[in-house]
Amino acid sequence: MKNLFEQAIEVILKGDADKAAELARRGLDQGLDALEFMDKGFIPAINNVGDLFEAGRVFLPGLIYSAKAMEKATEILNAAISGGNAIVAGKVVIGTIEGDVHDIGKTIVVSLFNANGFDVLDLGRDVPIGRFIEEAEKFGADIIGSSTLLTTTMAGQKKLEQELKSAGLKEKYKTIVGGAPVTQRWADRIGADAYAQDAGDGVKKAKQLLQKKSQP
């Protein structure tokens, strides 16, 4: 009998959304931590599909089916992550950069921020750079977080830093960048305040940035 993590690899590869949803619910029913199930089951599963896609062993329709199954499982697990913490730790505006529709990882990050007491405005995916700034101004954000999965759209994160600087707002907001091709080196190069490797790291970095912000 395959364990739940192995079953996640199987259902995501098959692109079976109903089975993925059922498996996510079963894991939760069995007391598995939602984030652990994501990190050890569903995320390696979708990354496996990405590798097969890159190697030409899975084609675009297969990738789309797998993504739909992943979205279903993520929806269920994310709902279990969002604990609804009453203390507001800080305000975060977050979205996926313009030209990029990948939002599974960004949505996990949003859930974990919510669960850790942050007030989060999720702008969704394919978000124009100017909108990050407009919405941060309206929302009274402390942090602007951007996610990107395509090497071609990483430039949007650099543009965000440049636009914040030219609007004289760079000191007002702390920025966090994330997404599979993003690295600490990239964050340093473009002048972002922090790079986060995963959702947990995102929360950790956000807390550190807010501490720095509140110190004179």
Q: Which parts of this chain interact with ligand B1M (CB under 6 A)? A: 43, 46-47, 49-50, 53-54, 60, 63-64, 67, 71, 94, 99-106, 108-109, 145-147, 149-151, 176, 178-180, 196, 198-199, 202
Task: Work out the burial of residue 117: count CB atoms within 10 Å of its CB; fewer than 13 is exposed, 13-18 middle, 19 or more buried.
Answer: middle
Amino acid found at 140: G
Position of minimal CB gap to ligand B1M: 105
Q: Which is nearer to ligand B1M, 75 or 216 (CB)?
A: 75
Please report how close the Cβ of residue 210 comes to ligand B1M at its closest, in angstroms. Answer: 14
Please report how close the Cβ of residue 124 comes to ligand B1M at its closest, in angstroms. Answer: 10
Q: Is residue 87 within 8 Å of residue 129, measured between CB atoms? A: no
CA dihedral for 163, 198, 206, 111, sign (positive or negative): positive
Please report how close the Cβ of residue 65 comes to ligand B1M at its closest, in angstroms. Answer: 9
Q: Is residue 12 within 8 Å of residue 42, measured between CB atoms? A: yes
Q: Which is nearer to ligand B1M, 19 or 102 (CB)?
A: 102
Beta strands in the chain (DSSP E): 90-96, 118-122, 143-147, 174-178, 194-195
Please report how close the Cβ of residue 72 comes to ligand B1M at its closest, in angstroms. Answer: 11
